[in-house]
Structure formats: C-alpha cells, structure tokens
A and B are shown apart, each in its own frame.
Chain A
Amino acid sequence: MEHNIWIYLLVMAAVSYLIRMAPLVLIRKEITNKYLRSFLFYVPYATLAVMTFPAIMEATQVPAAGLCALIAGIILAWKGCSLFQVAVLCCAVAFLVELLPIF
C-alpha cells in the first residue's frame, strides 16, 4: 500500500504535540512531594549534560574541534559570559580548530 506523506506528517505532529501538552495541562498544582520536586529540579541539568557530551564531538567534522568548543564553553560559562556569547564563541573555537593544518 502506498503511504501518504501528509498523513505521516500529521501523525508525527500529533504525537509530538500531545507528549508536550499533556504534562503542562494535567499538572496544574505545585508538587509537594520532596523527592518528586527534587527529581524535577535535577532533570534539566541531567538531560542537558547528557545531550551535550559526547554529542558535541560528533557535531563537528573533527572530534577535537567539538572537544575544544566544549572546554571553551565550560570556561566561558563559568566566567559568567551570556548565552549568546558562549554560543558564538563555541562556534568560533570549533571553526578555528578545524582550520588547523594538522586536520
């Protein structure tokens, strides 16, 4: 059977939206359970850390460029640079490292 691309797109969109919408609409109160609150407090840090490394090394042509960008990003963020500054400087570091003749 021939499948319709538009139906595929509709299925994808519906599932993607429902996943995001359900918790925001269903959880209306502040959660009082200490452990559940703590869990949700740590979720962003855990998930963003897990998604950053080692993925950053696979985003660039040369893994070392991603690694250098990671180190630069950690130092810059530690020093208090803004979101935009960190993002742009990470790109610059990755770009410059990939220009090095050793790669």
Chain B
Amino acid sequence: MTTENKICFRHGMRDGSPIALGYFAVAFTLGIAARNAGLSSIQALIASALNNASAGEYAGFALIAAGSTYVEMAVMTLVVNARYLLMSCALSQKLKPDTSLRHRMLIAYDVTDEIFGICVAQPGYLNPWYAYGAIVVAIPGWALGTFFGVMMGNVLPTRVVSALSVGLYGMFLAIIIPPARKNRVIAGVVAVGFAASFLVNRLPLFDGVSTGIKTIALTVALALAAAVLFPTDTKSSVGALDSENASHSP
C-alpha cells in the first residue's frame, strides 16, 4: 500500500465510523425482523454481511417468512435494490478509467446509500482505498447489529434505537447540503426532492407502490429534469464529479 493509499484508507475508516454506528442501530431493528422470519442469529449475520442492504433485506426476510419461491426472491431483491444500479453507474464516473477490475469488483460489494454518499463527496477521482476504509468498519457494524438484533431483541430502549436511526439521515444531510449551498441547481434538486418525496409517500394514489420503486422513479425524474434544464459544464472533468462542492470535507 502506498502512503497515499494508507492515508485514504484511514480517512475512509474515519468517515465510515459514524456510518458503522448508525448501521448498528438500524441493523439491530433489522435483526428483529430476521428473527420473526425464523432466521438464526448466524443466518442473519451472514445475510447482512452478504447483502448490505436495509430495505432489500427487510423485503427478503418478509418473503422468507411467507415461503415465497426463489424466483420471487430474486425479482424482489432486484426491484428493491435497483437504486444501487443507478448509484453504481454514477460511481463508475468517480473512478479513474484505468481502475483495475479487481478494485471495481471489490468496491461493488458495498455500494450502499451511505458508502456511496461519502464516496461521491470525495474531491476528484475516488481512491478505492478510501472506500475500503469505510467498508471495513461499516460491514461489521451492519452485520453485528443484525446478529445482536436477533439475539437480544428489544434490549435497547426504543428511544435510543429511534434516536440512533436518525443518524443515517443526518449523514445524508451532511452530504447534500454543503454542495446545495454552493450550487443553486443542486439546492433546487434537494428542495424539490423533499417535496416530491413527501407527496408521493402521503398521497393514497401511490399506496400500492413499494418504497424502492418510488425512490427510483423520483430519482430518475428529478435527475433527468435537472440534466435537461441545467446541463453541467462539459469542460469540467466528470472524475471531479463534485470536487468544487466537496471542499467541506475536512
């Protein structure tokens, strides 16, 4: 590992630590769902270590409990996790074009909302070691949280679990707000995103639509509208996806 990679790895671990804490709390509640579906704590641990997806796992556990077919499981996982497809597309533009296949395959393992968020907030091209640093602390938080959730059920006071689960959203805000302050279009995307998401979640019209589908549809609609109305400057490097906006990161 070069010195630069070591520094990036440490930065990744630093930024990954609050994610790991938040994951632990969220995964704890996920563990309770896993237990209800009949999984052992070891099975839940493995499910979380392999999937790294909150909504995807919730949906999966529900199907296990219902005794669905394996095909249904595959389709459901695909639909609920489809937003990761979009995130990976965006993340591909943060990688240096000559990034090796091995690095690409390893980073892909843990493209989650949070890891993706901190990775795109990095200035310039993403150093894979930054992602690895975040991943090595985040995955244990996620997997162990699920493990203990199955084992100990409701041992943490509900108030503590609910307060901790807000931390993940705090992290999202720390990622999207500073660039929104500097770029009016991003600010508009965020504001319209909040409003549209609120409406779609509250209007009875969309009751039958899963959260995953809503997220994808809104993301595509918003990003598409912003891209058509306010295309970004083509001269700036995409590798520096938002380098000028990422100066907030310490």
B162: A residues at CB distance < 8 A: 59-61, 65, 94, 98
Q: Do B223 and A9 touch (CB < 8 A)?
A: no
* Contact A38 to B231, CB < 8 A, known contacts A19-B84, A45-B189, A87-B18: yes
Inter-chain CA distance A11–B75, complex, in Å, is: 10
Q: Do B18 and A37 touch (CB < 8 A)?
A: no
* Contact A86 to B173, CB < 8 A, known contacts A45-B179, A50-B193: yes
Name the residue of chain A whose CB is nearest to the CB of B78: A15
Interface majority SS on B: helix, strand, loop or mixed?
Answer: helix
A78: B residues at CB distance < 8 A: 177-178, 181
Partner of B215, one of A21, A50, A59: A50
How many inter-chain residue pairs (CB < 8 Å) link A and B?
315
Q: Do A95 and B170 touch (CB < 8 A)?
A: no
Inter-chain CA distance A59–B77, complex, in Å, is: 22
**Which residues 20-57 of A have a CB within 8 angstroms of B?**
20-25, 27-32, 34-56
Partner of A16, one of B77, B91, B118, B202: B77
Name the residue of chain A whose CB is nearest to the CB of B39: A5
Q: Do A77 and B193 touch (CB < 8 A)?
A: no
Interface majority SS on A: helix, strand, loop or mixed?
Answer: helix
Name the residue of chain A whose CB is nearest to the CB of B200: A50
The number of chain B residues with a CB under 8 A from chain A is 111
Name the residue of chain B whose CB is nearest to the CB of A29: B97
Inter-chain CA distance A96–B68, complex, in Å, is: 42
What are 8 A-B interface contacts by the 8 Å CB criterion? A12-B51, A12-B60, A24-B107, A24-B108, A24-B111, A40-B89, A48-B113, A70-B169
Q: Please list the residues of chain B having a beta carbon within 8 angstroms of any beta carbon in chain A.
A: 15, 17-18, 21-22, 38-39, 43, 46-47, 50-53, 56-57, 60, 63-64, 67-70, 73-74, 77-78, 81-93, 95, 97, 101, 104-105, 107-109, 111, 113, 116-118, 120, 158-160, 162-181, 185-186, 189-191, 193-194, 196-198, 201-202, 214-215, 218-219, 222-224, 226-228, 230-232, 234, 237-239, 241-242, 248-250
